[in-house]
Amino acid sequence: INYAIKYKVKYFINTDTFYEKYKDSYSISKKHFKELLFFYRNRINIINLKIAHMYGPNDNDIKFLPSLLNQFESNIKNIEILTPYENKDFIFIDDVVDCYLKIIQNISIFKKKYYDLDIGRNKLVTLKKFVITSKKIYNESKKEIKTVITFKKNTNKRVKKTKPSLKHEILKKIKWFPK
């Protein structure tokens, strides 16, 4: 940040994390860095992009969707979903890249000193629904799998369904929307 200010960088685009909680050292460092950026907002223009649950080709195998598909491919006998009523907003990587490009191409319309933008589809889905739908699509496109999916019983209480945040007006101005 200090070098960006020293060399008069006009805009700093930060890639934030969708993790709300302090999950691990990575998410803690992301949250701390966002706080630092906010602190320096009067000295440099900040565009903070909080990316939803991103997926796509060559994704890390430990992430949710690749892990799930690998389990389907391996025909794992039983998959247990621990938080079936947790809501996620999934977004394809090409949509995220398109958002970055549109921001860069339209950088001059970012007039405020600090933007905090949620980059996602703005559609929440429970993990339970997502997993059931994924299995159905997998079965239709590949081979029928015998995997049994169980959902943790002690989580029958539904997680409060929070509405996805409304699309920020600036994203409408740059004509970005996920495809």
Which residues are the active-site residues? Answer: 26
The 8 Å CB, 24+ separation contacts for 135-140 are 135/72, 138/69, 138/72
Beta-sheet pairing, 87-88 with 125-126: antiparallel
Long-range pairs, 53-62, Cβ under 8 A, ≥24: 53/18, 53/88, 53/89, 53/90, 53/91, 53/120, 54/90, 54/91, 54/92, 54/93, 54/96, 55/90, 55/91, 55/92, 55/93, 56/92, 56/93, 56/94, 57/93, 59/93
